[in-house]
Structures are given as structure tokens and as C-alpha cells.
């Protein structure tokens, strides 16, 4: 399997190059040269295998430089850090299911891929003989940061530096990050919002001077943000797994279409659903759920992607994103895989703050995708409704998905079963959850967690309470312009 760039379909690189560099040299994202296929028999066989085996099968379609057994070893190790089944499906009613992706160490779906990525990188690095330390700058809207820190902490030959928007993440998210142990990690707050942090990190990747200085320090930059192919592939697996679980519990028969409703920010998670569909999963509609930052809803309505809007800070911070990087991979497919077309749109976005894919392409995209958004007050009500009606407590991001899912079924004729993808545990957002179910949250984070636990009986792991007693290791705040220097200083200080 070779990979091409979304901005140049003549470029062709191996999976290891795609994973170890993260971004293509022309600024595009790596995409498979053609979609690998997962057959009916393979899906049916998944009903009898466990999650790591399902994951290894899907990953083996992307990474042929590693054997199935090597990939299975990676998946086994990665998912051993999870609490039980990595991707359990909960039935709320006939035709309504929740796919819980937050049973990893950091309680958000980012663990699904970021527990795998460090092992994948190390294995591919060994295959290619790369000697330099993989230095990984990460921009986070809250959850990626901790998952990356946890995944890479003390992994030999790697180092990770996380940039989060100052004041733009929840208390628990910040606490999780700044208390991380490990000699190869660092956490820095950036003035501005997530897009500012992400843009500065993207610029660092294109910064030749920085690359030169890092090479002298024995480091090579690579990306672990959701644009890295090594994150996309493990995410494709849980859509197949969800379908296999519906098959084995007799909820559906093979070939039945299943809709997925995904709370979306950077478009990574829902793109994985689209990839799964292209690879042979009998998926129906992919429902793209946004919060007040509804740039994708507008795009799916008009075909125009426009940044001419305010950035709104919400109670679902991991979706507070205006520049959805992974959308570029979708555009590539709907531009008939023509890199020049994609490049022209991306140039326009940079220059004028918007692009228009045109009515015909929009129609094609809408055959698969439906977009909707939920305002903060509305999804808080929905969180309460879901709790009342099903006794199911969800986090605010998942509540956005439930809300948009309701809108979809109100507006569209579709009787397919739907899987709502749940991306975080309520423990990460206790104050918002309490507020939504009509209980005034205590100021103190630990008290809020205890309150949530006593009021709802939702079990809060001891490790989450323990977090608040841990010393904070990092308190640096920088301007986006200082990011390259900060990365370099970090690289110089790494123990060899
Ligand atoms: C990252 C994240 C999202 C958004 O996922 P994308 O892949 O960026 O679309 C949604 N919910 C939670 C809790 C997240 O951490």
C-alpha cells in the first residue's frame, strides 16, 4: 500500500514515511493510493474475534510493511491499557446504540489511536532504520494532548511537546496534561484559541530553519495530530467493530445499513467512518454533529467553507475548531482525487478565508453526509433528556451528537439503526454534566466529581481523583510566534 498527497496525487510514499513524517512535503495530507477492502467474510469473522484482532486486521490493510502478527502485538499492548472492552456498544433502545470510545487511560476517544501510534511509530522506525528521535509537537483542543503525553511518555526514541490554548481547555483536561510524568514530555500554553495553536504547529512543520536546528540536536519532527495516518487507521477499526457487535447480538443482519452520528471537530473521527464505508462497511448516513462552531454544518448545507465567523468557546471544548484539517481528505475524494483542485481550494482558504466546492460536488457529498449543530443550551437539555429517558449519563460532546441525531431523524426519512459515537467520559466534564442535569456544580473539581458520583452513581475512577493531588510540572505560557524556539529548546534539553 502506497500513499499519495491530497495536493499531489503523483507523489507516492510508503506507509512508514506517511506515519513518520505526518504531513506531506507540499502541505497536503497522506491518503491511500486506493481504498483497501474488507470483505463480507472478514467482517463476519470479526464477530468471533476480540478488539485487538479486529484492529490488527484493519491496520494490516494499511500497513503492509508490518506483519499481521506484529500489528496484533501492537494492538494487544495498546488496548491492554484500557479498562475492559476498548469499544463497547451500549443499547439504549431498539435501533439506538452508543459506541463508547473512552475506556482508555485519558477517558476520551483519542486513546483509541494514540495508544497505538507510539508503538506503530517505533515499529516502523525500526523497519526503516531511522536513528533520530521522533520529536512530536502536538496542538490540542484538550483531549489529544493528554492522550499523546500518555502514549509517548518514556517511549525510547520519541519526545512529545504539547501546545494547548491558554484558558481554552477544561480544568480536568489541563490538570491531566500538566501533571504528566516522563522525561521526554513537555506541556506549554499558547495565547489564543485552538486554531492559533494548530496553525503555529503546522507552520513549525514547514519551518526549514527549525528542521535544520533539530537535526543537529538529533531530532526529526513528526506529527501526532489527527492528520497523521497512524491515527486514522486505528480509528477505522472501531466502526467495523461496532458493526460486528450489532451482528453478533442479532440486532442486524449482514448488509443492513447502519447510520453513525459523530461529534466532530477536526473531522478525524467521522472521516474514519467514511473510510470504513469505502472499505466495505455497510454504513448508511454519516451524521456530522457540530457545536456552536458550526462551520461544517454550513459547509454541508451550502458547499462553502468559510472562516468568516467568530470562534465560540463552548462547554464541548474539544469541538471548538474552525479549521477542520481532515476535511481535506474528504475533499480529495470528491474532487476525483485531483490534487490540483484541492490545492486551489486550500490556497483560497488561506488567501480569502473561504472556498466553494460547487453544487454538484455538494450533492454527492450529501448522499453520504448530513450535517447539523447543537447550541450549548440545547445540548445541555438533551444531555438531561437522555439521562431521564434511558438512565444514560453522557458527556457534553456526546450530548451534541444526541441532539443532532434527533434533528436528523426529525427532518429526514430514515429508519436505519443509528450508532451515536461517544467520545468522552462524563468524568472529564463533571461540572458541565452536573449543570446540565440541574445540579449546581461545586467550584472545586474534586467536589464536583464526588457530587456527580453521588447524584448519578456514575463511577469515577480513583485515578481521576488522584490527579488533583499531583504536582503540576508545567506552567509556561507563550505567544504563537515563540513556538519554534520553544520546540528547539525542548529538543536541546532532551537526554540522549
Ligand atoms: C477530539 C474530540 C472530538 C472531535 O474529534 P475529531 O476527530 O477532531 O472530529 C470530539 N469529542 C471529543 C471528546 C474529542 O476529544
Check which CATH number belongs to the domain holding 321 and give it: 3.40.50.1100
Tell me, using a 6 A CB cutoff, whether residue 266 lines ligand 1.
Answer: yes
Q: In angstroms, rounded to a whole number, what is the distance separating the alpha carbons of residues 405 and 73?
A: 37
Pocket lining: 226 vs ligand 1, CB cutoff 6 Å: yes
Query: Is residue 418 a part of any domain in this protein?
Result: yes
For residue 377, what are the domain limits? 89-104+230-458
Mutate to test the pocket of ligand 1, among 269, 295, 329 (most ligand atoms within 8 A of CB): 269
| Residue in 18, 52, 50, 51 with CA at minimum distance from that of residue 33 | 18
Residue 326 C-alpha cell reads as 481532515
* Ramachandran angles phi, psi of 434, nearest 5°: -60, -50
Same domain, yes or no: 254 and 332 = yes
Q: Do 382 and 475 reside in the same domain of the chain? A: no
- Averaged pLDDT for residues 235-240: 98
Q: Side-chain half-sphere of 239: how many Cα atoms within 13 Å?
A: 33
Residue 167 has pLDDT above 70, yes or no: yes
Pocket test for ligand 1, best of 29, 106, 271, 318 (most atoms within 8 A of CB): 318
Confidence of residue 206 (pLDDT cuts 50, 70, 90): confident
Give the pLDDT of residue 481: 97
Distance CA 420, CA 404 (A): 10
Q: Residue 472 domain-assigned? A: yes
Q: Is residue 258 part of a domain?
A: yes
Cell of 96: 439506538
| Mean local confidence (pLDDT), 201-213 | 93
Q: Is residue 428 part of a domain?
A: yes
Q: In ligand 1, which atom is closest to the CA atom of 321?
A: 8
Q: Domain for residue 169, yes or no?
A: yes
Residue 230 has pLDDT above 70, yes or no: yes
Task: For ligand 1, atom 2, name the residue with the nearest CA.
Answer: 318
- pTM for the predicted model, two decimal places: 0.95
Residue 45 is assigned to a structural domain of this protein: no
Does residue 382 register a pLDDT over 90? Answer: yes
pLDDT at 25 > cutoff 90: no
284 shares a domain with 270: yes
Exposed / middle / buried, residue 437 (Cβ in 10 Å: 0-12, 13-18, 19+): middle
Cell output for 295: 462551520
User: Phi and psi for 305 in degrees, rounded to 5?
Assistant: -105, 115
- Residue 496 above 70 pLDDT? no
470 shares a domain with 425 = no
- Do 437 and 479 sit in the same domain of this protein? no
Report CA(160)–ligand 1 centroid distance (Å).
20
Q: Sign of torsion, CA 388 392 396 398?
A: negative
Q: Give the cell for residue 431.
A: 461540572
Q: How confident is the model at residue 142 (pLDDT cuts 50, 70, 90)?
A: confident
Same structural domain, 287 and 403: yes
pLDDT above 80 (res 444): yes
Residues 187 and 275 in one domain: no
Three cell numbers written together for 349: 482558504
- Shared-domain flag, residues 288 and 269: yes
Residue 2 belongs to a domain: no
- Could you give the CA distance from residue 360 to residue 362 in angstroms, rounded to a whole number? 5
DSSP state of 471: P
Q: Provide the grid cell at 310.
A: 467568530
pLDDT for 127 beyond 70: yes
Cβ of residue 269 lying under 6 Å from some atom of ligand 1: yes
- Looking at the structure, tell me whether residues 387 and 438 fall in a common domain: yes
Ligand 1 pocket residue status of 426, Cβ below 6 Å: no
**CA max distance for the chain:** 60
Question: What's the pLDDT at 495?
Answer: 76
C-alpha–C-alpha distance, residues 7 and 249, integer Å: 43
Active site residue 350: no
Q: What digits encode the pLDDT tens for the residues 76-124?
A: 999 999 999 999 999 999 999 999 999 999 999 999 999 999 999 999 9
Q: Which residue is associated with the grid cell 515499529?
A: 123
Report pLDDT digits (tens) over 276-301.
Answer: 999 999 999 999 999 999 999 999 99
In contact, 405 and 264? CB cutoff 8 Å = no
Angle of helix 229-248 relative to helix 51-62, nearest 10 degrees, comes to 130
Q: Which of 386, 15, 475 is nearest to 228 (CA)?
A: 15
416/275 same-domain check: yes
- Do both 338 and 384 map to the same domain? yes
Say yes or no: CB of residue 319 within 6 Å of ligand 1.
Answer: yes
Work out how many domains the chain is built from and give that number.
2
Residue 465 predicted with pLDDT over 80? yes
Q: Is 397 in the pocket of ligand 1 (CB under 6 A)?
A: yes
CA of 444 to the centre of ligand 1 (A): 26
Task: Assess whether 196 and 150 both reside in one domain.
Answer: yes
Q: Are the beta carbons of 136 and 158 closer than 8 angstroms?
A: yes
Nearest to 436 by CA among 465, 408, 402: 402
Distance CA 266, CA 17 (A): 22
User: Does 279 map to a domain?
Assistant: yes
Of residues 110, 146, 202, 428, which has the active-site annotation?
110
Residue 14 pairs in a beta bridge with: 2
As given in the structure block, the three cell numbers for residue 377 are 443550551
- Structure-model confidence comparison of residues 379 and 143, the more confident one: 379
Amino acid at each position: 500500500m502506497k500513499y499519495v498527497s491530497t495536493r499531489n496525487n503523483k507523489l507516492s510514499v510508503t506507509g512508514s514515511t506517511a506515519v513518520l513524517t505526518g504531513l506531506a512535503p507540499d502541505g497536503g495530507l497522506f491518503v491511500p493510493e486506493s481504498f483497501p477492502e474488507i470483505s463480507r467474510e472478514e467482517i463476519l469473522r470479526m464477530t468471533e474475534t476480540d478488539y485487538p484482532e479486529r484492529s490488527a486486521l484493519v491496520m494490516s490493510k494499511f500497513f503492509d510493511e508490518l506483519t499481521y502478527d506484529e500489528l496484533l502485538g501492537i494492538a494487544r499492548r495498546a488496548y491492554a491499557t484500557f479498562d475492559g472492552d476498548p469499544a463497547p456498544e451500549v443499547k439504549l433502545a431498539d435501533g439506538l446504540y452508543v459506541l463508547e470510545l473512552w475506556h482508555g487511560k485519558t477517558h476520551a476517544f483519542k486513546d483509541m489511536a494514540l495508544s497505538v501510534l507510539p508503538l506503530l511509530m517505533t515499529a516502523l522506525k525500526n523497519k526503516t532504520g531511522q536513528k533520530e528521535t521522533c520529536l512530536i509537537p502536538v496542538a490540542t483542543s484538550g483531549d489529544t494532548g493528554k492522550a499523546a503525553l500518555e502514549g509517548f511518555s518514556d517511549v525510547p526514541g520519541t519526545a512529545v511537546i504539547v501546545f494547548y490554548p491558554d484558558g481554552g481547555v477544561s480544568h480536568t483536561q489541563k490538570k491531566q496534561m500538566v501533571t504528566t510524568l516522563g522525561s521526554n514530555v513537555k506541556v506549554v500554553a499558547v495565547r489564543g484559541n485552538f486554531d492559533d495553536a494548530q496553525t503555529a504547529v503546522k507552520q513549525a512543520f514547514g519551518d526549514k530553519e527549525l528542521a535544520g536546528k533539530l537535526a543537529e540536536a538529533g531530532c526529526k519532527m513528526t506529527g501526532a495530530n489527527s492528520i497523521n495516518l497512524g491515527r486514522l487507521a486505528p480509528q477505522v477499526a472501531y466502526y467495523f467493530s461496532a458493526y460486528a457487535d450489532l451482528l453478533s447480538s442479532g440486532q442486524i443482519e449482514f448488509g443492513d445499513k447502519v447510520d453513525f452520528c459523530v461529534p466532530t471537530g477536526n473531522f478525524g473521527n467521522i472521516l474514519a467512518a467514511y473510510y470504513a464505508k469505502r472499505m466495505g462497511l455497510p454504513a448508511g448516513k454519516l451524521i456530522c454533529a457540530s457545536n456552536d462552531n458550526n462551520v461544517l454544518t454550513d459547509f454541508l448545507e451550502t458547499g462553502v467553507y468559510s472562516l468568516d465567523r467568530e470562534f465560540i468557546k463552548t462547554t464541548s471544548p474539544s469541538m471548538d475548531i474552525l479549521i477542520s484539517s481532515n476535511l481535506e481528505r474528504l475533499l480529495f475524494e470528491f474532487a476525483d482525487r485531483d490534487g490540483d483542485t484541492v490545492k486551489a481550494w486550500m490556497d483560497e482558504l488561506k488567501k480569502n478565508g473561504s472556498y466553494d466546492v460547487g453544487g454538484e460536488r455538494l450533492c454527492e457529498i450529501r448522499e453520504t453526509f448530513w450535517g447539523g449543530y447543537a447550541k450549548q443550551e440545547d445540548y445541555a437539555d438533551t444531555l438531561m433528556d437522555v439521562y431521564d429517558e434511558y438512565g444514560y449519563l453522557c458527556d457534553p460532546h456526546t450530548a451534541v451528537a444526541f441532539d443532532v441525531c434527533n434533528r436528523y431523524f426529525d427532518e429526514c426519512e430514515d429508519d436505519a439503526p443509528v450508532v451515536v459515537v461517544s467520545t468522552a467520559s462524563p468524568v472529564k466534564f463533571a461540572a458541565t454534566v452536573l449543570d446540565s442535569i440541574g445540579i449546581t456544580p461545586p467550584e472545586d473539581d474534586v467536589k464536583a466529581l464526588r457530587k456527580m458520583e453521588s447524584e448519578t452513581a456514575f463511577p469515577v475512577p480513583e485515578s481521576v481523583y488522584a490527579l488533583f493531588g499531583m504536582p503540576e510540572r508545567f506552567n509556561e505560557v507563550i505567544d504563537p510566534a515563540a513556538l519554534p524556539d520553544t520546540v528547539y529548546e525542548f529538543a536541546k534539553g532532551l537526554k540522549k
